[in-house]
A and B are shown apart, each in its own frame.
Chain A
Amino acid sequence: MSRLWRWLIPLATVPVLALLAYGFRANPRDTPSPLAGRPAPRFALATLDGAPLALEAHRGKVVVVNFWASWCYPACYEEAPVLERSWRAYRGRGVVVVGVDIQDKPEAAQKFVRDFGLTFPNAQDPTGTVSVDYGVYGVPETFFVDRQGRIRVKHVGAVTDDVFRETVDRLLAEAAKP
């Protein structure tokens, strides 16, 4: 057997090690949504006050669908004021914020809404159907739906003022153009 050939044994480990090193770049917990660009799944839920809440009712507006839970600390607690602020700032410009509370107890959810003084509609998803329709992994996750009713951006983790403003402004500007 050739002398060089035997050195292939140690060298064979190099591609394996390289693959493992590649693993540092990839985040195993970060999974892209196959729903981007696709029509946002419809839903019809009841808000915590008992009013009907349907995605269809807001067709033609930019809709921000936010999935949250009262037990999701701290991320949901960080973004609740952001969402409320942004909702107040944008509600006159054809933007709707919709909260979907998942895997939660009604009392806890109501307390959460009261504590943060949330004025945008919030509904519970008691069976988890809506969260699975949207491919939700955990909370918080936020979907930005354009005026044509397509999901454009999925944001994982707490929404910041910047993320909200940039994404919504982009969707609004785009929609203004024919």
Chain B
Amino acid sequence: MTADLGFGMTLVALVLAVYGGAAAGVGARTGRAALVESAQHAALGVFVLITACFALLTYAFLTFDFSVRYVATNTNLGTPFYYRITGVWGALEGSIILWSWMLALYTMIVVLRHRSTARELYPWALATMLGILAFFLLVMTVAAPPFQRHTPVPADGRGLNPLLEDTGMITHPVALYLGFTGFTVPFAFAMAALATGRVGDAWLALTRRWAIVAWYFLSLGLLIGGWWSYHVLGWGGYWAWDPVENAAFMPWLTGTAFLHSVMIQERRRMLKLWNISLVILTFGLTLFGTFLTRSGVIASVHSFTQGAIGILFLSFLALVLLTALGLVAWRWEVLRSQGDLDSVVSRESAFLLNNVLLVAAAFTVFFGTVFPLLSEAVRGVKVSVGAPFFNQVNVPLFLSLIFLMGVGPLIAWRRASLDNLARNFLWPVVLGVVAAAAAFVLGVRSSLAALAFAAAAFVLATIALDFGRATRARLRAGESLLPAMGGLVRRHNRRYGGFVVHLGILIIALGVTGSQAWSVQTEMTLRPGETAELVGYRVRFDGLTAVEESNHFKVVGAFTVSNGRVLGVLRPAKKFYPQEQSPIAYVDYRLGLKEDIYLVLGDFARDGRQATVKLQVNRLVSWIWIGGAVLTLGALLAILPDRRATA
């Protein structure tokens, strides 16, 4: 019953999306407003129907409606309330619903916001978005239907993947998908620009804020993913260069490139071709990410089950890329911009360099991710491309990018004079050198870490210099300190939002550098009362206890951690789920600004006479999460309406 209702609604939504996309397209071509109007109603209908589907599935989860196959495979009577909600998007079919719902939501916002402001571009953008929605609805009806009858109705379900029983599962996919689907809007307007030939600034002005929103959610999704990995997967790290992590990281890189190159087009009317290509590339990479996660072509911890869905996604990816890039080739003449640069030493050059590095990093990650396939196709030999490779090749790129982060915002547009360079960069460079020297004196022997600190000090100094100078100017104009600073930030919210985002990235980079350079670990088998020691921490094994939870059985180890004085008792555990072959590690940790103490329970004797424990002291990891908070602040600031324009 539930399954039929849900399936019916999906089918109607599909028909509506196809109709709406066609109507908007024809309306745009012929200029018939009535058709576009009708497409809007269709979009509203699609949104309402997908929302209803989503609600229906959630209701089925909450009420243990095992007559729906998807509910039966992803929950059981023991699943706690909270995870029955997150379980809705815990597996393939539900994740597609969530995805489609967000896409429909974005479509509705586009309708509401741009219906009257962008008369030429809007119908084409609407047609594009409805077309993409139609594809996802097609997936929901054909390849991965969440509403499928399950007969006979089982008494109990199989249960959720235990790794997904975590609070991060509500925020991580939601943020990530908001980011992924968010890039559909810039793509839709890019398609509109290509279709109409109006590739000037109108579509960019419309999409810049959308791009920031999507970029921000993508960043947040990546960070929460790192947090989830850190505290659930129990391997002591936050980023494994897993193919699917890479798939989310690539559009982030090209999206970041776009956010910067957009400024050159706004200021100097250049790089039209490049900006449109970046948007297409970014959207293509988000599709590639969904393809990778759902096709099983490249094995990954995040993979959903494989099936026909992969072929469907690949075909759609091919359709999108060939159409979009074909349009670019078709509009080649209008896209070519009359470039005009005054000097090689200018902000334009800094941004171009930034784009080269970001896109090169994205291609590097892409090539590394698909290289195992290439090797197998060409040589017939399976190889792996993992963390050691990606770390080595990307670190130089990222270090250069951090350095550019200091240069870009301060160097003059058009032509930077020697005076401009000295005024803005003399002190930051000095500070950078001092930082490197200080790091060396303090015992940092890794040259990469020292370079990272130098670059960070340099960037920090440029930000402080700029902000201090602007504040001083306002003080001279007679304002007092705090209002001067506040007014500055409010008035130039985009510029300072950007600065704060840079600050956030910088803090994250410091956390990554520190954790890579200085984290230590050891592994020991202890009997009760015995102690393991690591860099001044003593960890005493107190014993094991067994706990029966609603849907699993858990063996908890108690370890007293001290460094001179007792810091507390950590309780890492192993969870045994009836539906899983091997136990799931449940880590325990004590977070700190300087370092985290992180315990993973390994093998143990059943009678509790001994247990193996992996003890890690992870340095500076907390700064990654703090950097994420700063980044959020900066992004919010940058998204605020531009005061300069309205004042």
* A and B touching (Cβ–Cβ under 8 A): yes
Contacts of A7 in B (CB 8 A): 326, 329
A19-63 interface mask toward B, CB cutoff 8 Å, 1 = contact, 0 = none? Answer: 111111010110110000000000000000000000000000000
Q: What's the Cα separation between A45 and B606 when bound, in Å?
A: 23
B632 to chain A, nearest CB (A): 34
Residues of B near A28 (CB, < 8 A) are 296-299, 372
The reply to whether B373 and A23 contact each other, CB–CB distance below 8 Å, is yes
B322 at the interface (CB under 8 A from A): yes
Are A22's CB and B373's CB within 8 A?
A: yes
Chain B contact residues: over half helix, strand or loop, or mixed? helix
Find chain B residues with CB under 8 A from A73 CB.
581
Alpha-carbon separation in the docked complex, A7 to B322 (Å): 10
Interface presence of A165 (CB below 8 A): no
In chain A, what residue has the closest Cβ to B296?
A28
Q: Which of A9-17, A85-93, A150-158, A168-176 contacts B (4 or more CB under 8 A)?
A: A9-17
A24–B318 contact, CB under 8 A? no
* B377 with A22: CB separation less than 8 A: yes
The smallest beta-carbon distance between B244 and chain A, in angstroms, is: 13
- The answer to whether the Cβ of A72 comes within 8 Å of any Cβ in the partner chain is yes
How many Å lie between the Cα of A21 and that of B295 in the bound state?
Answer: 10
List chain B residues, Cβ under 8 A from A16: 370
B residues less than 8 Å from A72 (CB atoms): 581
Q: A28-B298, A71-B581 are in contact. Are A20 and B329 (CB under 8 A)?
A: no
Structural contact, A20 and B370, CB atoms closer than 8 A: yes
Closest residue of chain A to B306, judged by CB?
A24
Per the bound structure, the CA–CA distance linking A71 and B328 in Å amounts to 56
Looking at the assembled complex, report how far the CB atom of B237 sits from the nearest CB atom of chain A, in whole angstroms: 22
Q: Which residues of A contact B297 (CB under 8 A)?
A: 20, 23-24, 26, 28
Q: Check: A177 CB closer than 8 A to any chain B CB.
A: no
Of A10, A29, A107, which one neighbours B326 at CB under 8 angstroms?
A10
Q: Provide the residues of chain B in CB contact with A23, threshold 8 Å.
A: 295, 297-298, 373
| A105 is an interface residue with CB less than 8 A from chain B | yes
- Per the 8 Å Cβ criterion, residues 580-619 of B in contact with A are 581-582, 606
Distance from B376 Cβ to chain A, minimum over Cβ atoms (Å): 5
CA gap between A16 and B582 in the complex, in Å: 37
- The answer, yes or no, to whether A114 is at the interface (CB within 8 Å) is no
Smallest CB gap from A16: residue in B: B370
Instruction: Report the minimum CB–CB distance from B314 to chain A (whole Å).
Output: 6
**Residue from A13, A31, A32 in contact with B322 in the complex, judged by beta carbons closer than 8 Å:** A13
Kindly provide the distance from the CB of A83 to the nearest chain B CB, expressed in whole angstroms: 20
Write out, one digit per residue, whether chain B residues 320-362 have a CB within 8 A of any chain A CB (1) or not (0): 0110011011001000000000000000000000000000000
Q: How far in angstroms is the closest Cβ of chain B from A17?
A: 5
Instruction: Tell me whether A10 and B329 are in contact (CB under 8 A).
Output: yes
Q: Is B177 an interface residue (CB 8 A)?
A: no
C-alpha gap A6/B582 in the complex (Å):
54
Q: How far apart are the CA atoms of A24 and B291 in the complex, in Å?
A: 12
Report A130-141 CB contacts with B as 1/0, cut-off 8 Å: 000000000000
Alpha-carbon gap, A9 to B291, bound state (A): 22
Q: Is the CB of B382 within 8 A of A20?
A: no
List 28 A-B pairs, Cβ < 8 Å: A6-B328, A6-B332, A9-B328, A10-B326, A10-B328, A12-B325, A13-B318, A13-B321, A17-B317, A17-B318, A19-B373, A20-B297, A20-B314, A20-B370, A20-B373, A22-B373, A22-B377, A23-B295, A23-B297, A23-B298, A23-B373, A24-B295, A26-B297, A26-B373, A29-B299, A32-B382, A71-B582, A73-B581
- Which residues of A does B touch, CB under 8 Å? 6-7, 9-10, 12-13, 16-17, 19-24, 26, 28-29, 31-32, 71-73, 105, 107
**Shortest Cβ-Cβ A-B pairs, 7 listed:** A23-B297, A10-B325, A28-B299, A6-B329, A13-B321, A10-B326, A6-B332
